[in-house]
Amino acid sequence: MKSAAVDPLRGAPAQQAGRRIALLLVNPQARTAADRFDAAVQSLEAADLKLVTPDLDDKDAAGDAIARYADSCDLVIVGGGDGSLHAALQHLVGKKLPLGILPLGTANDLAKSLGVPSDLVAACRVIAAGARRQIDVGSVNGTYFFNEMSIGMSPTVSRLLTKDVKAKLGIFALLYRALQVLRRMRRFAAQVNCDGKEIVLRTVQLTIGNSQSFGGFVASDEASIDDHKLDLYSVSFRYWWSFPEALQAMTLRRYDDARSVVTMHGKAFDIRTKRPRPIEADGEIVSMTPARVRVVPNAISIFVPAAEA
């Protein structure tokens, strides 16, 4: 993929002739990046944005680009899925640069939670309009996440989701792998401390969410990405009827009456397991248990539709 409008100047003034300077980071491995990149560039330039578009070998190179251009840009735009946003997030916290999203990935959970349209031109218009929302992020063992962190089934699914499978099946790849993993998953014990309250859970999937939607999971009605809290969901699948019960709870977004689901809400969680287990965050394997999970209030400002601002 060729760069469209690379700014060779580092440390240049943030405003040039009244134009905002945007660092545009597009993951070349995103499912739809190659054929939609030029359309994004045209839409953003039509909104009078001056684009800095460094070539990226992969989504992890976004961090180096942010470090290099942060002082000379007014905003950062990430084109890709939740994995690309996750990589950029690690270098955006504390930078005070607003973030624009171009949904080019498989699930695009963060974009859905914030109402950012999946249509690329419409997403560019959202950025051009300038309405923003200050949101929280989570932190697990020092790694930031937008949507969720999980222990149990999700890390196993993440390891099985190869690039080829995602490219061929898209969102169905997630469901396909999840069903494969579910057949052989066994419950494990997790000791959880939530804001000083201790509980031991027997679980197959333990998720702490920050947003409204993640990995096919729909959060409870009271969950919000800017409420300065995180939301824990533990699914046990103890009996054969546990799966349809949990599915019904997710559909109705009511978990209190589901015997297979335990929920907790708080600012800080400490999780211990008998043996170290992988921790997944925003679809990436990031650490091992024990897990120290915290909410980081008002961490990032993101361009959203006016109704969501």
Which amino acid appears at position 90 of this protein? Q
108 and 178 both lie in a single domain: no
Tell me if 306 is assigned to some domain.
Answer: no
Does 2 score more than 50 pLDDT?
A: no
Contacts of 172 (CB under 8 A, 6+ apart): none
Does 118 score more than 60 pLDDT?
A: yes
Contact 21, 74 (CB under 8 A): yes
Query: Cβ of 251: how many Cβ atoms within 10 Å?
Result: 9
42 and 82 both lie in a single domain: yes
Q: What is the pLDDT of residue 237?
A: 66
Tell me if 20 is assigned to some domain.
Answer: yes
Contact 268, 295 (CB under 8 A): yes
Give the pLDDT band (50/70/90) at residue 260: confident
Question: Rounded to an integer, what distance in angstroms lies between the CA atom of residue 291 and that of residue 273?
Answer: 9
Find the CATH number of the domain harbouring 169. Answer: 2.60.200.40
Does 5 score more than 50 pLDDT?
A: no
Tell me if 284 is assigned to some domain.
Answer: yes
Question: Rounded to an integer, what distance in angstroms lies between the CA atom of residue 204 and that of residue 233?
Answer: 11
46 and 168 both lie in a single domain: no
63 and 156 both lie in a single domain: no
Helix, strand, coil % in the chain, rounded to nearest 5 = 30, 35, 35
**pLDDT tens profile 205-258:** 899 999 877 765 666 667 789 999 999 988 886 655 555 666 655 555 555 666
Q: What angle do CA 198, 199, 204 make, to 5 degrees?
A: 140
Contacts of 225 (CB under 8 A, 6+ apart): 113, 114, 135, 136, 210, 211, 212
Q: What is the pLDDT of residue 213?
A: 73
Distance of CA 304 to the CA centre of its chain: 15
Q: What is the pLDDT of residue 3?
A: 41
- Backbone conformation region of residue 71, classed left if phi is above 0, alpha if psi is from -120 to 50, else beta: alpha
Contact 263, 232 (CB under 8 A): yes
Question: Rounded to an integer, what distance in angstroms lies between the CA atom of residue 62 and that of residue 97?
Answer: 14
Tell me if 5 is assigned to some domain.
Answer: no
**pLDDT tens profile 137-154:** 999 999 999 999 999 876
Domain count within the chain: 2
Q: pTM score > 0.85 for this model?
A: no
| pLDDT average, residue stretch 178-186 | 58
Sign for the CA dihedral angle at 217, 223, 224, 226 comes to negative
Question: Rounded to an integer, what distance in angstroms lies between the CA atom of residue 243 and that of residue 23?
Answer: 44
Residue 175 structural domain: 143-298
**pLDDT tens profile 48-78:** 999 999 988 877 888 899 999 999 999 999 9
First-to-last CA distance in the chain?
A: 33
Question: Rounded to an integer, what distance in angstroms lies between the CA atom of residue 156 and that of residue 146?
Answer: 20
Sort strands 75-80 and 99-103 into parallel, antiparallel or unpaired.
parallel
Question: Rounded to an integer, what distance in angstroms lies between the CA atom of residue 269 and that of residue 291?
Answer: 8
Find the CATH number of the domain harbouring 101. Answer: 3.40.50.10330
Contact 41, 64 (CB under 8 A): no
84 and 117 both lie in a single domain: yes
Q: What is the pLDDT of residue 245?
A: 61
Contact 83, 282 (CB under 8 A): yes
Which amino acid appears at position 257 of this protein? D
Lookup result for tokens 């504390």? 94
Tell me if 106 is assigned to some domain.
Answer: yes
Which amino acid appears at position 60 of this protein? D
